[in-house]
Structure 1
Amino acid sequence: MIRALYDWTLRWAASPRAPVALGAVSFVESSVFPVPADVLFLPMCLARPDRAMRYALIATVTSVLGGVFGWAIGHWAFHALALPLLDFYGKTAAFEALKARTGTWAILTMLVTSGLSHIPPMKVVTILSGVVAFDLKLFILSAIVARGGRFYLLAFLLQRYGVKIAAFIETRLHWIALGVLAVLGLLFVLIEVL
């Protein structure tokens, strides 16, 4: 199964319709789809480094729009749409635990960490933000910063270092994400204490 997904990704990355597929995956990843946009974004940037910044723009815009869609699901259609999706993905308990810890700083921290590292999953945070009626303007701004920061940084690194950085990212992504999460957690604690 993993080999089939890998082959599918490589075919799409080389396709002339790859930007459309990237936009679609980035959109649905932020609200309902479990596969991150990176599965298309990384090989597309490696295949065409001259277009990496364009791909970053496509991924950022569609990811933010998908996040707004997730927010709308949480805000207006949680019981009809979101709860069955959370049940389907087995994320209902995680969602309830996150909901219990909500507040402006908690939501912002979750938006940034999920936008940068997918911890917690972006779709859970976008839906949660809608359920608790998190300020939509602040939601959009934080999604632009987090998702744009991630995609543009990856595009820059892939343009500059190519295959070497891709191997580094693939082997150490979880450690990088945990490091960013630890720094953000420390900042959150410092803000709460001060």
Structure 2
Amino acid sequence: MEAVIVRRLYDRILSLADHPRAGLWLFVLAFAESSFFPIPPDVLLITLSISKPQKSFYWALICLVGSVMGGVFGYFIGVQFMEIIGDKILSLYHLQEKYLVVQDLYRRYDAWAVAAGGFTPLPYKLFTITAGAFHINFFTFIIASILSRGGRFFLVSGLIYLVGPRVRYFIEKYFNLFTLIFALLLVAGYIVIKWVIK
């Protein structure tokens, strides 16, 4: 039943690409996904970038602003309303076990775990709400969010801009694997930098 509902939402979101205010819907989707909504904005970003490749980077920018602002909202939920709202959101998407994984990431890497979270297949809302719940440094949280989400969205739009519509199949089929590899490289880079600074 949940899969059917999500599929209907997915199809509905794709249909927004033809809406005259598609950019506004992209912003709303990116905002919502960062704090409480199940469908990632990539699906609409890819569709819009393919339909109007000359505006690919514009769509990525809208996605980035919406996602970071939504992340701030998710952070606020974690800080102020974790027991009332945050726990319910995590429970709705069956993320309680992953919450412990993210908790460990924050203990090791502080807010820079958000940078990895912006790329991994794990829902970004898990990282934003958890960051607030653990009172992660807000400024570092914002910077990490901009870097990770910006990297993700501009990478997708950039590939479509350079390669064209034929890259869509590759992105949709291997996106999770691709982003996971990038996240591992990001964490590895952080560890190397931290080791060099010491």
Question: Structure 1-normalised TM-score?
Answer: 0.88
Whole-angstrom distance in 1 between the partners of 2:181 and 2:101: 22
CA contact (8 A) 2:77 2:129 kept: yes
Mapping 1:4-19, distance limit 5 Å: 4-5=8-9, 7-19=11-23
SS in 2 for 1:147: helix
Match of 2:57 among 23, 36, 53: 53
Distance 1:122 1:17, change over 3 A: same
Match of 1:113 among 108, 116, 120: 116
Q: Counterpart of 1:87 in structure 2: which amino acid? A: S
What percent of counterpart residues are identical? 31
Deviation at 1:106, TM superposition (A): 4.6
2:86 match: 82
Whole-angstrom distance in 2 between the partners of 1:98 and 1:175: 19
SS in 1 for 2:39: coil
Deviation at 1:131, TM superposition (A): 1.0
Q: Counterpart of 2:132 in structure 1: which amino acid? A: G
1:149 match: 151
1:36 match: 40
Deviation at 1:141, TM superposition (A): 0.9
**RMSD (Å), alpha carbons:** 2.2
Please give the per-residue CA displacement for 1:85-111, whole angstroms capped at 9, x wherever unaligned: 112211122213322442362531x31
Mapping 1:62-77, distance limit 5 Å: 62-77=66-81
SS in 1 for 2:115: helix
Deviation at 1:174, TM superposition (A): 2.5
Unaligned runs of 5+ in 2: none
Deviation at 1:175, TM superposition (A): 2.4
Whole-angstrom distance in 2 between the partners of 1:88 and 1:3: 17
Whole-angstrom distance in 1 between the partners of 2:127 and 2:7: 30
